[in-house]
Structure formats: C-alpha cells, structure tokens
C-alpha cells in the first residue's frame, strides 16, 4: 500500500491535469482562500480584541439581515466574518442564502457544497452538488466534488459508476449527428475516471483510459501528463520522460515551465512508498 504522502502528491498532480487547459470555467471568489484557512485553523479558546471585534461585526451584519434578509453585502460580510472566526458551521446559513439569491452564479453553491463536505455532511453535500450539475450542465466542479465525497466515504465504485455513466452519456451525445456537441469535455471526463482508477491502484484500467484519451485528442497535453505521472509512480521513469517531453511540446506556452518542473522532480524510490 502506498503512503498517504504518495497519494496526496498524486492528487496534486491530478488537479493540475484536470484544471490546466481543462476547458472548465473556474470563477473563484475571493473568499475561497479565507474558507480554506478557516477550515484548517483552530479558533482560539480565549477572548482577544480580535475575537471581540469579529463578534461585534457578526452581530452588526445579523442586525442588518433582520431588517433586510436579502441584503447581499450583509450576507457576504457575515460570511467572511464567520470564516475569519473559523466557524464553518455558522457560515452555512449565509452561503445558502447567497446561493439561492444567485442561481446563475454557481460559485456560491460550490462553496456551500464544499463547506458541507468539510463538515462531513455528506448527504447534504451530494445533494447540493447534484443540484449544481442539473442547473449547470457541463460544469466539472460538482462532478469532481461528488467523486471526492464518494471517495471520502470509501465508495469508490459509486465514484467510478458516476463518472463512467457521465462519460457514456457524453460519448452518446457526441456520436448523435442530430445533437449538439456534448456539454462535457470528453478528455476531462476520461482524466477524472483514470485518476479514480489510479487512486484505487487499478493501474491497468487507468492506463486504458489514458490511452483512449491520448488517442481521442492528439493535441491535448493532459492525457500525456497523466499517463507520465502514472508510469513514474510505477517506476517506469524512462517511459514517463518520453511522455513528459511530448506533453511539454503540446502544452500552451504559459504551462510549459510548470510541466518542466514536474518532469524534473526526482522519482520516488521503492523503499519510500
């Protein structure tokens, strides 16, 4: 069994594979970084001037919301204050209202689902992700979110089934001459499925998917990078370097240096796994 460090590193690269040139619209709100910091930090157990100030700020926003429950400035202010306090549970209510008031802006709903996921409210998180998928066909973020929730619950087969079903639907839509092109990017779906297989150490299945993705779009560097990372994990560094070089050649200019850095990283020795 590989170490958690190895798996974490693989997921970091998977995020790069999925997000770089992924044809996915990631409109990240400024409060995302605050949410990450709040969820990872611990609230102080003693009263300080800062905690008192934040409590007063929260009270002020709550008083405004009692008079104007749909005041978005107050909702945003309360949300940011709760996050600075490290109180993710209390951030749920303003996030829910912001998501309801901005159905055309999925970022709030994404943050809500991620917060529910962070709090281990898995049924609520899955439900929120599903609603986002229905309202925003083709958005990979809720699909990836659902996969992460399933994997956190050790439901890897559910994650595989979800992505495989979506992939099958996308292939069917694309092959139907009377239909518009699938709202999903096939390569992104294949990469996500391959990453699940890789995480579950089903390497043969992952390689099959990556090879299909490479064949399906010869101009996309992402499947080459994903396969190179998998081969490196398996100790096939020479084969991996060949793919790294090909991926670098095909990648847009703004990503070439990042890919070069990845290709030059020292492969992990067997005794370190």
Q: Is the pLDDT of residue 218 over 70?
A: yes
Question: First-to-last CA distance in the chain?
Answer: 8
Please say if the pLDDT value at position 9 is more than 60. no
Q: Is the pLDDT of residue 273 over 90?
A: no
Asked whether the predicted pLDDT for residue 188 surpasses 50, the reply is: yes
The answer to whether residue 81 scores a pLDDT higher than 80 is: yes
User: Per residue in 233-242, pLDDT tens?
Assistant: 999 999 999 9
Q: What pLDDT shows up at residue 116?
A: 93
H helical segments located in 4-155: 4-19, 31-40, 49-67, 72-84, 88-101, 106-118, 122-135, 140-152
At 181 the pLDDT is 56
Euclidean distance between CA atoms 101 and 79, whole angstroms = 14
CB 132 within 8 A of CB 139: yes
**Domain 26-138: which topology?**
1.25.40
Q: What is the pLDDT of residue 50?
A: 82
Question: Region 17-30: what's the mean pLDDT?
Answer: 33
In this structure, what token pair is assigned to residue 178?
């009377």
Question: Which of the four pLDDT bands, split at 50, 70 and 90, describes residue 173?
Answer: confident
Residue 13 has pLDDT above 70, yes or no: no
Overall fold of domain 1-25+139-273:
1.25.40
Q: Is the pLDDT of residue 200 over 60?
A: yes
Can you give 182-235 as a three-state secondary structure string?
A: CCCCHHHHHHHHHHHHHHCCCHHHHHHHHHHHHHHCCCCCHHHHHHHHHHHHCC
| Beta carbons within 8 Å of 27's beta carbon, 6+ residues apart | 105, 107
Check residue 221 and give its pLDDT.
Answer: 93
* Residue with the larger pLDDT of the pair 272 and 155: 155
Across residues 23-31, what is the average pLDDT? 33
Helical (H) or strand (E) element with 263: helix 253-264
Q: Do domains 1-25+139-273 and 26-138 have the same CATH topology?
A: yes
CB atoms within 10 A of CB 53: 12
Please indicate whether residue 55 or residue 177 has the higher confidence score (pLDDT).
Answer: 55
Burial 183-216 (b: 16+ CB within 10 A, else e): ebbbbbbbbbbbbbbbbeebeebbbebbebbbee
Q: What are phi and psi of 181, to 5 degrees?
A: -60, 145
Instruction: Name the residue ranges covered by the structural domains of the chain.
Output: 1-25+139-273, 26-138
Is residue 148 within 8 A of residue 171, CB to CB? The reply is no
Q: Taking residues 258-265, what's their average pLDDT? A: 91
With CA atoms as reference, report the closest residue to 220 among 195, 193, 251: 251
State the pLDDT at residue 67.
95
Burial of 104 (C-beta count, 10 Å sphere; 0-12/13-18/19+): exposed
- Top pLDDT among 47 and 106 is at 106
What average pLDDT does the segment 222-236 reach? 93
pLDDT, tens digit (0-9, with 9 covering 90-100), for 68-80: 999 999 999 998 8
* Percent with pLDDT over 70 in the chain: 78
Whole-number pLDDT of residue 268: 61
Query: Lowest mean pLDDT: which of 20-24, 34-38, 103-107, 110-114?
Result: 20-24
Q: To the nearest whole number, what is the mean pLDDT of the chain?
A: 82
pLDDT of residue 26: 34
Rounded Cα distance, 109 and 131, in Å: 9
Residues 6+ apart with CB under 8 A from 225: 13, 16, 17, 243, 244, 247, 259, 262
Q: Which two tokens stand for residue 206?
A: 């992952």
> How confident is the model over 142-165, as a mean pLDDT?
95
């Amino acid at each position: 069994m590989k170490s958690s460090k190895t798996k974490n590193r693989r997921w970091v690269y998977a995020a790069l594979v999925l997000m770089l040139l992924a044809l996915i619209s990631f409109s990240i709100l400024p409060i995302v970084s605050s949410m990450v910091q709040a969820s990872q930090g611990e609230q102080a157990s003693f009263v300080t001037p800062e905690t008192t100030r934040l409590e007063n700020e929260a009270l002020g926003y709550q008083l405004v919301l009692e008079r104007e429950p749909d005041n978005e400035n107050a909702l945003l202010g309360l949300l940011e204050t709760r996050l600075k306090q490290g109180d993710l549970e209390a951030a749920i209510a303003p996030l829910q209202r912001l998501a309801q008031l901005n159905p055309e802006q999925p970022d709030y709903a994404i943050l809500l689902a991620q917060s529910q996921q962070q709090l281990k409210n898995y049924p609520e998180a899955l439900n929120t992700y599903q609603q986002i998928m229905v309202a925003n066909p083709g958005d990979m973020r809720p699909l990836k979110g659902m996969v992460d929730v399933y994997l956190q619950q050790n439901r890897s087969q559910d994650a595989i089934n979800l992505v495989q079903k979506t992939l099958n639907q996308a292939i069917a839509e694309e092959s139907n001459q009377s239909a518009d092109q699938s709202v999903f990017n096939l390569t992104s779906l294949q990469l996500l499925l391959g990453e699940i297989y890789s995480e579950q150490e089903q390497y043969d299945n992952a390689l099959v998917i990556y090879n299909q993705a490479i064949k399906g779009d010869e101009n996309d560097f992402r499947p080459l990078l994903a396969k190179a990372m998998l081969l490196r994990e398996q100790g096939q560094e020479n084969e991996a370097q060949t793919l790294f070089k090909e991926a670098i050649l095909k990648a847009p200019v703004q990503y070439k240096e990042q890919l070069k850095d990845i290709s030059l990283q020292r492969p992990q020795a067997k005794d370190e796994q």
